[in-house]
Structure 1
Amino acid sequence: MSLNDTFKVGYVLKRYPRYSETFVVSEILAHEATGLAIEIFALRPPVDAYFQNIISEVRAPVKYLLSYDLRGSTLWATLEQASAIFPELWSKLAIARGEDVHDVYQAILLACEARTRGIAHLHAHFGTSATTVARLASHFAEIPYTFTAHAKDIFHESVQPDDLERKLRDAAAVVTISDYNLNYLNETYGQAAAKVQRIYNGLDLNQFTYASPQNRPLRIIAVGRLIEKKGFTYLIEACDLLRTRGYEFECHIVGAGDAKEDLQAQIEALNLQSDVALIGPRPQREIIEIVQSAAVLAAPCVVGTDSNRDGIPTVLLEAMALGTPCVSTDVTGIPEVLRHQETGLMVPQHDAIALAKALEKLLTDAQLRVKLATQARKVIETNFDIHCNAAHLRTIFRAAPVEAVQEVR
């Protein structure tokens, strides 16, 4: 009997599935390809109107830990039932002091599910509510937990340093997705971040076949949620500059989000309707085709006014794998994959003029497109293969000792 036959991991997610979180799905699929048993626990139901096609490939069952009605009798009855499984639950509840009652309730449900389903390890994505629930459930069920910290959960103005420090300290191990994040966590949280290590998000490269950008239509593509940190307002400004200079091109922005109306109004105010289009969300298969049909992908990411920012955008990795040269900015971990004039072109944040110049270079210089795309693909193959990176993650899961679960402080 192999280790995979007896070792079962519970993935804890705030919502599942989510249109924008293909990196989670790819990671789970890579685990399942090796025979690792996965079960998914979601704190909330999905709210997206669109879902990526690869979700249908996931075999793991999904359990929703819903907490809509928490009247005293419901919570009390759940505690009584759980204490039959965990006789020391009442004394362990001290760890939940100050936590949101919904998180505590869901953690109790998760602990019970973990015990009855034979879950040996819990792994959460994002150091927010999913990790809160995983941490508490880990304590109640006496199994270790780990989590992956991304970007918003580290940098956003809503992050509570004391809370994140507890999670870093109590986890058996912590993963983050860039060296930038790793350095920030070490500098900010000191010894509490001693167990953090960097594992890049990855791609299944069999799904992202390279094609030369030598002969591409004069098309700019951008993909992402229509929110401030994506910087699409600067892309629209850059397109206006290109049009003013007499260039013929088209720009398609794929995605949905709260900024849609503002971006559409900007397009109309600049009279760019014939050049720039917001084409809404698309399934991943179609996004692959769209990205690979473009001469350049623009990812003009910025640090938002609320300190929100991207980690390393998945679409940037996908474009580089597919052979589409990229223009981006120096936000967080992006320079670790997009190296200026080597694997792409880097421009300053908030700088539409520089962005327009970089786009112009790639629209007009096929030789430069090929050079950057060729070198970018090599970097993706070396550092961002999901099967290699997920294997590293599995070694962390299996090495996590039960003693890593900390007592209440």
Structure 2
Amino acid sequence: MKIAYLAPELPALSATFVYNEILELEEQGVDVQYFSVHRPASIATDHKLEAMRENTRYLYAQSKLTALLANISVLLQKPVAYLSVLGMLLADIVRLGVVTRTAIGQVMRFFYGAYLAKLLCKQKVQHLHIHFAHVPTDIGMYACKLAGIPYSVTSHANDLFERGWLIKQKVERSAFFGSISAYNIKHIESLGAPSDRLVITRCGVDDRIFPPIDKTHHIAANTIGGIGRLVEKKGFDTLIKAVAVLKQRDYPVTLKLAGGGPLEQELKQLAIARDVEEEVKFLGPLAHSEVPAYLSELDAFVLPCKTDSNGDMDGIPVVLMEAMLSGLPVITTRLSGIPELVVDGYSGLLIEPEDEMALANAIQQLLGDAELQARLVKDGAAHVADEFSLRTNVQRLMALFEKAIGDSQ
């Protein structure tokens, strides 16, 4: 089986779930070709990604002349297919509104779709799998219709809720259309998409990389942590405010915050304003290989996700799974598909988004109750292993790929 993967940025530091899925497929014997819309702003540097870094082809790094020549070539070689897909594009433009920015961008995505189609045909790819249902799927669906091969999608969060154009059509044209949570599947169905194409495709975590932490020599110090891009939807402002609430209660905790992003200076200023600049440690971005050691320094993992001002929100953050597998109790929010992973009082604790008092209460409750910690850790790790195992979910994907290829022949 020879397949290709297409993502917005590959291999991106902030999208470990994409490249880990590819690596597991390759370990299972699948031949995978790598395509990316853009070069990553922050490229993942793990040694195991050397081949991916060297062999990924970046579509938008190609000149418009190169893309134009690809379109001419496809038109000459497959005139019927090209004109048919061009008609599909025109119908999509009408749906989007002829003079909208998205519609204009759709023309460019069709343009580069023809370039991708040439590469797929040249490499004799049998199936294309796409992560994120916005720009990569626009490019990929046109490319696959031109190349005459099936495609599938794993959708996540902002690609549905903030940038979810043409979702119904993308589902109808796909071999299957996955999403990471039942919450997302219900949303896609509400857009009129056919339910027989929809499947839950979890972003799994590798329990070989995140075995339970050995806490034999761990000295409890009320140390909590959170990992993620320093952006609004992660809710790290709420976490810093909760640390300040706990300090006011004479219940000090240390917060080790890992990640980089546009809100870094704003969050540092918030820590100063709330008089917790000593308690909050900003560690900067971590390579994925550095995460297990970081988690071993913590007593609990906290990720208070929220909906940002543009409507974007997390789906089911993989870093929560990694923390749970590592043997950490977790606190997070009732948002999107997160309660499918963290069941309140069973596999972790849930609070409402943007509630620093409730978050402070949950942190204090958890750190002060060893029995609760032990129970959440045990049940949380078991839940991740049962439902969110990388190996199990990749095997499910492989079966779907094989069926899609078989049905297309």
Q: What is the TM-score with the length of structure 2 in the denominator? A: 0.91
Aligned counterpart for 2:289 among listed residues 281, 285, 290: 285
Equivalence for 1:311: 315
Pairs within 5 Å for 1:194-209: 194-209=196-211
Counterpart-to-counterpart distance in 2, 1:59 and 1:283? 15
Aligned counterpart for 1:380 among listed residues 364, 378, 384: 384
Shift of 1:50: 5.6
Aligned counterpart for 1:35 among listed residues 23, 29, 32: 29
Contact 1:227/1:257 (8 A) holds in 2: yes
Contact 1:329/1:347 (8 A) holds in 2: yes
Structure having greater relative contact order (Cα 8 Å, sep ≥ 6): 1
Equivalence for 1:125: 131
Are residues 402 and 44 of structure 1, via their aligned partners in 2, closer, same or farther at CA, if it must alter by over 3 Å? farther
Counterpart-to-counterpart distance in 2, 1:330 and 1:311? 11
2:91 is the alignment partner of 1:86: no
Shift of 1:313: 0.6
Equivalence for 1:241: 245
Are residues 282 and 131 of structure 1, via their aligned partners in 2, closer, same or farther at CA, if it must alter by over 3 Å? same
| Counterpart secondary structure, 2:60 | coil
Identity of aligned residues (%): 27
Shift of 1:80: 2.3
Equivalence for 1:96: 89
Letter in 2 for 1:202: G
Contact 2:70/2:118 (8 A) holds in 1: no
Shift of 1:175: 0.9
Pairs within 5 Å for 1:175-186: 175-186=178-189
2:254 is the alignment partner of 1:261: no
Instruction: Single out whichever of 80-89 and 252-261 deviates more from structure 2.
Output: 80-89
Counterpart-to-counterpart distance in 1, 2:359 and 2:283? 21
Equivalence for 2:6: 12
Letter in 2 for 1:94: G
Counterpart-to-counterpart distance in 1, 2:193 and 2:9? 31
Count of aligned pairs between the two proteins? 393
Counterpart-to-counterpart distance in 2, 1:59 and 1:281? 19
2:69 is the alignment partner of 1:77: yes
CA RMSD of aligned residues (A): 2.1
Pairs within 5 Å for 1:38-187: 38-48=32-42, 51-52=45-46, 54-56=48-50, 61-66=55-60, 69-70=63-64, 76-92=68-84, 93-97=86-90, 98=93, 100-156=106-162, 158-160=163-165, 163-186=166-189
Contact 1:12/1:123 (8 A) holds in 2: yes
2:299 is the alignment partner of 1:295: yes
Equivalence for 1:190: 192
Equivalence for 2:100: none
Are residues 49 and 198 of structure 1, via their aligned partners in 2, closer, same or farther at CA, if it must alter by over 3 Å? closer
Contact 1:11/1:38 (8 A) holds in 2: yes
Equivalence for 2:404: 400
Equivalence for 2:230: 226
Are residues 50 and 145 of structure 1, via their aligned partners in 2, closer, same or farther at CA, if it must alter by over 3 Å? closer
Contact 2:229/2:261 (8 A) holds in 1: yes
Equivalence for 2:16: 22
Aligned counterpart for 1:360 among listed residues 336, 340, 364: 364
Counterpart-to-counterpart distance in 1, 2:48 and 2:285? 15
Counterpart-to-counterpart distance in 1, 2:378 and 2:47? 28
